């Protein structure tokens, strides 16, 4: 089984010399055997073909996912658990560790082994899948680890754009023309945009982590419902305000928010291994109050989201493979124009208590790569607690400013929730 990488996957893959890795860490209370972990990982590979795949280039240097008959197991790296924050150090290590994608799967497993408590990490190349896919195979892994004979099904993998875009759209003469024209215009524009000769020096990468307890998390969700805005919108406005307060004139007043393509393309199932995403950008108005900004931003988000078209977007991108080099160069060498990428995975629907162990927490995934500004905040909610991973690089956002932004986010959230706690 094999398929060509799509445009977005090729962009994330790069030339193989720079990692673009994501990590999803979690904490288990219980005792485990390596052979049981390896078995659970092998069951994941049995279900998902692309977890068995390597990447090979053809004679035209086009990369392909290729599933070999005698596939290689997902590698396990075991380190002794010394403290509560070991998972952060191992996350940073995994960001920097290249995937030898022609020789090993695009997924690794790290076991920070303790006597009663273990932290575990899935590390994967971002061209393999997104955070939604990672949560899906995390759920399957835990299911098998607890109950080895459990049935998790078999994925019917996406083999190309034809498995996502309906045939009527994909073969439509007008839609094909539209995609080609937009693709050519975009490719020409990208070629004409001036970029620097050197990419920004990233310097040291860092991870800042925090949680809201169950009480604050519950109040935050209740507040958003009372204001008729989403948690995503609320946190975006909080983040924009924090960047403005800390960075002043250096803030861009722009936060990029990924939108799950599964909302618009039902062909892509929750458990599909897939990396393609959609994006909107949100901004706030300094002249408005916090509440007015919430409502204005919510309207803007709904308007922009309603205009998203995953099918034509994919068709445009697939028509522009020859512009990949220029597009990548623009992302790497162009000036940053947004403050941060903010991704909210929402409530993670994975059980907390299992027969053989307890899933104490899931830490929000982190991701970092070479395509421009690395500043990213990811949040998720598990077992009633909202968790935050804030990733960045000194060359884009100094660590001291990132800490100040974190403090502003926490303070602003608590200030907005205070009237509820008083009542």
pLDDT 10s digits, 67-81: 988 889 999 999 999
Instruction: Report how far Cα 395 is from the mean position of its chain's Cα atoms.
Output: 21
Radius of gyration of the chain (CA): 22
- List, for residues 216-243, the tens digit of each pLDDT value: 999 999 999 999 999 999 999 999 999 9
Lowest mean pLDDT among 106-120, 318-332, 398-412: 318-332
Of 33, 56, 55, 53, which Cα lies nearest the Cα of 44? 53
Q: What is the mean pLDDT of the chain?
A: 94
Contacts (Cβ under 8 Å, ≥6 apart) of 420: 219, 222, 223
Give residue 358's region: left, alpha or beta (phi > 0; psi -120 to 50): beta
Residue 190's pLDDT is what?
A: 83
Question: How big is the chain, counted in residues?
Answer: 423
Q: Contact 417/223 with Cβ under 8 angstroms?
A: yes
Residue 187's pLDDT is what?
A: 85
CA atoms in the 13 A half-sphere facing the CB of 68: 12
Confidence check: pLDDT of 422 > 50: no
**Average pLDDT of the residues in 119-133:** 96
Q: Contact 209/88 with Cβ under 8 angstroms?
A: yes
Instruction: Give me the helices (H) in 79-212, please.
Output: 86-96, 131-146, 167-170, 173-192
Confidence check: pLDDT of 195 > 90: no
Confidence check: pLDDT of 280 > 50: yes
Judging by DSSP bridges, how do beta strands 107-113 and 76-80 pair with one another? Answer: parallel
**Average pLDDT of the residues in 337-359:** 96
Q: Contact 273/155 with Cβ under 8 angstroms?
A: yes
Domains annotated on the chain, with CATH:
2-146 (3.30.559.10), 203-308+335-422 (3.30.559.30)
Residue 3's pLDDT is what?
A: 95
* Measured distance CA(384)–CA(287) in Å, rounded: 35
Residue 219's pLDDT is what?
A: 95
* Measured distance CA(258)–CA(269) in Å, rounded: 17
Residue 419's pLDDT is what?
A: 64
Confidence check: pLDDT of 423 > 60: no
Q: Contact 126/20 with Cβ under 8 angstroms?
A: yes
Q: What does 196-245 look like in DSSP terms, one character per residue?
A: -SS------EEEEEEEE-HHHHHHHHHHHHHHT--HHHHHHHHHHHHHHH
**Average pLDDT of the residues in 251-255:** 96
- List, for residues 12-55, the tens digit of each pLDDT value: 999 989 999 999 999 999 999 999 999 999 999 999 999 999 99
Phi, psi of 104, rounded to the nearest 5 degrees: -135, 160
* Measured distance CA(152)–CA(36) in Å, rounded: 16
**Average pLDDT of the residues in 112-126:** 97
**Average pLDDT of the residues in 107-111:** 98
Burial of 366 (C-beta count, 10 Å sphere; 0-12/13-18/19+): buried
Tokens of 11: 């962009």
């Amino acid at each position: 089984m094999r398929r060509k990488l799509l445009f977005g996957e090729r962009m994330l893959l790069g030339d193989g010399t720079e990692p673009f890795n994501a990590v999803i860490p979690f904490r288990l209370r219980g005792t485990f055997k390596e052979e049981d972990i390896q078995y659970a990982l092998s069951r994941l590979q049995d279900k998902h073909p692309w977890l068995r795949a390597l990447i090979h280039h053809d004679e035209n240097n086009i990369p392909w996912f290729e599933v070999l008959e005698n596939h290689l197991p997902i590698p396990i790296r075991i380190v002794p658990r010394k403290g509560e924050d070991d998972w952060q150090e191992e996350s940073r290590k995994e960001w920097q560790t290249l995937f030898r994608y022609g020789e090993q799967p695009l997924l690794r497993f790290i076991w920070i082994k303790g006597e009663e408590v273990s932290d575990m990490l899935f590390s994967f190349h971002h061209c393999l899948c997104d955070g939604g896919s990672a949560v899906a195979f995390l759920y399957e892994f835990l299911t098998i680890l607890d109950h080895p004979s459990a049935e998790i099904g078999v994925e019917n993998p996406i083999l190309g754009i034809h498995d996502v875009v309906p045939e009527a759209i994909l073969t439509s003469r007008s839609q094909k023309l539209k995609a080609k024209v937009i693709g050519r215009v975009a490719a020409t524009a990208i070629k004409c945009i001036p970029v620097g000769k050197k990419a920004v020096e990233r310097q040291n990468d860092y991870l800042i982590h925090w949680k809201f307890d169950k009480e604050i998390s519950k109040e935050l969700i209740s507040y958003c419902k009372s204001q008729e805005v989403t948690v995503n919108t609320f946190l975006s406005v909080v983040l924009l305000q924090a960047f403005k307060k800390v960075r002043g004139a250096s803030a861009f007043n722009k936060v990029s928010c990924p939108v799950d393509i599964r909302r618009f393309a039902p062909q892509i199932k929750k458990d599909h291994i897939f990396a393609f995403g959609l994006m909107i950008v949100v901004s706030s108005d300094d002249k408005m109050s916090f509440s007015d900004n919430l409502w204005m931003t919510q309207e803007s988000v709904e308007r922009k989201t309603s205009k998203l078209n995953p099918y034509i977007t994919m068709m445009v991108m697939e028509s522009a493979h020859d512009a990949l080099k220029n597009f990548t160069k623009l992302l790497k060498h162009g000036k940053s124009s947004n403050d941060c990428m903010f991704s909210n995975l929402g409530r993670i629907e994975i059980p907390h208590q299992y027969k053989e162990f307890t899933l104490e927490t899931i830490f929000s995934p982190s991701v970092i790569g070479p395509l421009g500004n690395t500043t990213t905040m990811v949040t998720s909610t598990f077992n009633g607690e909202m968790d935050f991973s804030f990733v960045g690089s000194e060359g884009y956002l100094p660590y001291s400013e990132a800490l100040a932004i974190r403090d502003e986010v926490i303070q602003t959230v608590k200030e907005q929730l205070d009237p509820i706690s008083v009542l």
